[in-house]
């Protein structure tokens, strides 16, 4: 029995369970939506939080000892790439750091490029910063996404910053080296700064290999910011915090000075302690997690392939998030969402919220014990067969 087979009772204040009524209009659904996992946060991370929070005086602290060294170690071990400690800056969270990067490196009215479909906060935060959102639609093909290079390059020419999600959310795509190289080359040629959100990178499953954006082409020092955290991989998004990695000297000086002079990313001992524990004491836990998630992905692929032939699975090799394409069911976005909630009793994220290209899709979180996933797939099978039976009778 895997340690991830244990069913953990979640606190009702967790968004995944506490917001079901708000999200789905009912609490009678199995929640497989928001991107956290129903697994226990690894013990070393919890122990680090307890140790820090039990200090008799919760005063101002310096940096947690060794947190930067732990990041250097992790990148060498996981990606066989060298990181210098001077490239690193603590951040209050990945999404917050994306916003801060946009504010620091562009002016109101500038164009900011993203892809679509994409993790939904990106659209709101670009407009919220007073910048113009430009999007290049990804091409869905053979269960994954690829770039429309003509569209991407034409839109890149009018933009200041490209907000990149690597691996992709909601498609879980691990971008291959050719794709990364072309993005880096085209952005370098146009003088566009890349902000690469790599929060799902450590959830790259066996058989795939993630390349940090700063390591794509060492000979071409493109202005790029890489952002990551332990939140997704070690199931600790509630404690926030994260890591900014900037190799380019000029860009590093600009963004680090902005963060420091505006007091936007000050030392946070508790969060840095969690980073240190995750990157130095959880290697075995991490490898077991990746194996378990890969098996969950395979389980869902097999179940949907056998029982729901009009639904296809998009998953490009990373994360516990699957994008389900249900276009062939012939339902509108509203009817599809209603089918999953009312018929299948499953709480998934509607694909429409991820923008153009997400229509008639649903995002499914498989970060849960296998027994829960088996229950979900059975619910889907029964609901699908009932609806398709009605459809065939109508035909």
For the chain of 395 residues, list the mean pLDDT of each consecutive stretch of 10: 92 93 96 97 97 95 96 98 97 97 98 97 95 98 96 98 98 97 97 98 98 92 96 95 97 98 94 98 98 98 97 97 98 98 98 97 98 98 90 56
Quickly name the fold that domain 44-281 has. 3.40.640
Instruction: Name 35's Cβ contacts closer than 8 Å, sequence gap at least 6.
Output: 169, 232, 237, 319, 320, 321, 365, 367
Among 209, 94, 221, CA closest to 163:
94
Is residue 138 within 8 Å of 148, Cβ to Cβ?
yes
Classify 3-41+284-394 by CATH class: alpha beta
Among 204, 223, 205, CA closest to 214:
223
Residue 157 structure tokens: 């020419």
Q: What is the pLDDT of residue 395?
A: 53
Q: Which helix (H) or strand (E) holds 146?
A: strand 144-146
Q: What is the pLDDT of residue 393?
A: 57
Pairing of strands 139-141, 144-146: antiparallel
Q: How far apart are CA 97 and CA 231, in angstroms?
A: 14
Q: What is the 3-state secondary structure (H, E, C) of 321-377?
A: EEEEECHHHCCCHHHHHHHHHHHCCEECEEHHHHCCCCCCEEEEECCCCHHHHHHHH
Q: Is 8 left (phi over 0), alpha (psi -120 to 50) or beta?
A: beta
Q: Which helix (H) or strand (E) holds 247?
A: none
| CA max distance for the chain | 72
Q: How far apart are CA 144 and CA 54, in angstroms?
A: 46
Domain boundaries, the chain: 3-41+284-394, 44-281
3-state secondary structure of 73: helix
Q: How far apart are CA 92 and CA 124, in angstroms?
A: 19
- Terminal C-alpha separation, the chain: 46
Q: How far apart are CA 280 and CA 356, in angstroms?
A: 40
Q: How far apart are CA 194 and CA 198, in angstroms?
A: 12
Q: How far apart are CA 243 and CA 153, in angstroms?
A: 29
Among 233, 244, 158, 161, CA closest to 203:
233
Q: What is the pTM of this model?
A: 0.96
Helices 94-105 and 249-261, axial angle in degrees (round to 10): 100
Among 376, 384, 381, CA closest to 331:
384
Q: What is the pLDDT of residue 352?
A: 96
């Amino acid at each position: 029995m895997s340690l991830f087979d244990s069913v953990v009772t979640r606190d009702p204040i967790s968004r995944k369970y506490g917001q079901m009524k708000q999200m789905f209009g009912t609490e009678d659904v199995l929640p497989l939506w928001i991107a956290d996992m129903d697994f226990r946060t690894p013990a070393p991370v919890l122990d680090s939080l307890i140790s820090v929070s039990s200090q008799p005086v919760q005063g101002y602290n310096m940096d947690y000892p060794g947190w930067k060294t732990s990041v250097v170690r992790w990148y060498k071990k996981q990606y066989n790439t060298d990181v210098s400690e001077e490239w690193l800056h603590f951040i209050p969270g990945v999404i917050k750091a994306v916003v801060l990067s946009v504010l620091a490196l562009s002016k109101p009215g500038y164009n900011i490029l993203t892809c679509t479909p994409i993790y939904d906060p990106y659209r709101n935060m670009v407009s919220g910063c007073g910048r113009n959102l430009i999007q290049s639609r990804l091409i869905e093909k053979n269960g994954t996404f690829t770039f429309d290079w003509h569209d991407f390059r034409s839109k890149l020419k009018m933009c200041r910053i490209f907000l990149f999600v690597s691996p992709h959310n909601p498609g879980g795509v691990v971008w291959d080296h050719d794709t990364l190289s072309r993005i880096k080359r085209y952005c370098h040629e146009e003088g566009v700064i890349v902000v690469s959100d790599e929060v799902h990178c450590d959830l790259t499953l066996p058989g795939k290999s993630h390349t940090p954006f700063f390591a794509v082409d060492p000979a071409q020092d493109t202005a790029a910011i890489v952002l990551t955290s332990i939140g997704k991989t070690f199931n600790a998004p509630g404690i926030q915090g994260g890591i900014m990695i900037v190799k380019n000297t000029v860009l590093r000086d600009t963004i680090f000075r902005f963060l420091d002079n505006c007091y936007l990313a000050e030392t946070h001992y508790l969060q840095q302690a969690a980073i240190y524990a995750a990157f130095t004491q959880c290697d075995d836990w991490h490898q077991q997690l990746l194996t378990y998630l890969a098996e969950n992905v395979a389980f869902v692929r097999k179940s949907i392939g056998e029982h729901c032939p009009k639904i296809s699975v998009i998953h490009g090799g990373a994360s516990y998030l699957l994008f389900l394409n249900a276009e062939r069911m012939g339902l509108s976005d509203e009817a599809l969402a209603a089918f999953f909630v009312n018929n299948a009793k499953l709480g998934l994220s509607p694909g429409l919220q991820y923008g153009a290209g997400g229509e008639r899709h649903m995002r499914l979180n498989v970060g849960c014990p296998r027994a829960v996933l088996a229950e979900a797939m059975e619910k889907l099978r029964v609901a699908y067969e009932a609806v398709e039976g009605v459809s065939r009778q109508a035909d």
